[in-house]
Amino acid sequence: MIGTSLPPSMLMESPVTEADKMLLDAYGGHMALLRALKDMGVDSVELRTVRPDTPRSTTAACAADVLGCGLRLTIHATLTETDGAGFFGPLMPALEQIPREYGPVPLTVHSLRTGSEPLDQANTVRMLRLLSDYACERGLNVVFALENNRIHRSGLSIMDCHGVEATVREADRSNVGVCFDFGHLYSNFLAFPECTPFLPSEWFLKRAVHTHIHGVANTTHYPPTEDNLPLGDYLRHLIAAGYRGVFNLELECGRYWRDIDPREGHEMAVRTLRRHLAALEGQKTETDRQSME
């Protein structure tokens, strides 16, 4: 299942950046964009990002339009020091519209970040436990996905794959997994290979419940190509570990619009991802055939 991230502002026809406006205008509005994504083979949209101050009416309208176009919905939320009602308040108008048969809805979050990593890790564990328990007590059909992020100096960090794994292990909740961000891992590997393995651990891969896929070209969130992301390697290992969730493209056209037309960037990314997934499926089919002979 292929997904792509879109900001709520774009789906409300109020793009924040000139690049987002270019993308919206290229399709003739957000509904035409959603229908075009569906026609391209995109199955899901991630609302990126729903913040504590996002109006409930915005979340409701975005969800209705995405689901109305036959697409599924995931959410990139914001982890803050709040209670369950505060966190889920802006999310509920979307969650209430998603059919339960779609399965648990991934809610991607970043670790808390104040500057003290030991304190941030402890507080992130505490908040993940609090929110996961809140969701379970109320029967909310969600799963939390803690995302690996970029690091800015050599050494282990709560933001890298190792740190995310440690946090999720300590949180110890069945509805808390990881979001495998391909671009962030590759960016860290390029910048700090001495402390960044090419691949996450097998445990990390098996605990993945969502993905963010983007290329690295001086900065992150570019359309992935053969030159800026080892996409095939990451996909192959993740699928081999049992992943069956959304392969979600997380592009920011504001980062590449001077090099690549925003519409072409999105469509190129979808084609690239579809090609890699089809190739891996073809390899699996051939392997299965040979094993039956």
Q: How confident is the prediction for the chain on average, in pLDDT?
A: 95
- pLDDT average, residue stretch 109-116: 92
Across-strand partners of 74? Answer: 46
pTM value is 0.96
Predicted confidence at residue 284, as pLDDT, reads 62
Helix (H, G, I), strand (E, B) or coil at 12: coil
Please write the tens of the pLDDT for every residue from 17-50. 999 999 999 999 999 999 999 999 999 999 999 9
Q: Which one, of 189, 281, 188, lies nearest residue 235 by Cα? A: 281
Q: Which one, of 80, 148, 73, lies nearest residue 107 by Cα? A: 73
Predicted confidence at residue 114, as pLDDT, reads 86
Split at pLDDT 50, 70, 90, the class of 223 is very high
Give the pair of three-digit tokens for residue 114.
Answer: 């104040």
CB neighbour list of residue 106: distance below 8 Å, 6 or more residues apart:
74, 75, 142, 143, 144, 145, 179, 209, 210, 245, 246
Task: Give the domain range for residue 138.
Answer: 2-292
216 vs 214: CA distance, rounded Å: 7
Split at pLDDT 50, 70, 90, the class of 115 is confident
Across-strand partners of 181? Answer: 212
Predicted confidence at residue 70, as pLDDT, reads 98
Split at pLDDT 50, 70, 90, the class of 12 is very high
Look up the CATH number of the domain holding residue 192. Answer: 3.20.20.150
- Centre a 10 Å sphere on the Cβ of residue 240 and count the other Cβ atoms it contains: 12
Split at pLDDT 50, 70, 90, the class of 293 is low
Residue, of 291 and 186, whose pLDDT is higher: 186
b/e map 163-202, b = 16+ CB within 10 Å: bbbebbeebebebbbbbbbbbbbbbbbebbeebbeeebee
Counted domains in the chain = 1
Predicted confidence at residue 282, as pLDDT, reads 84
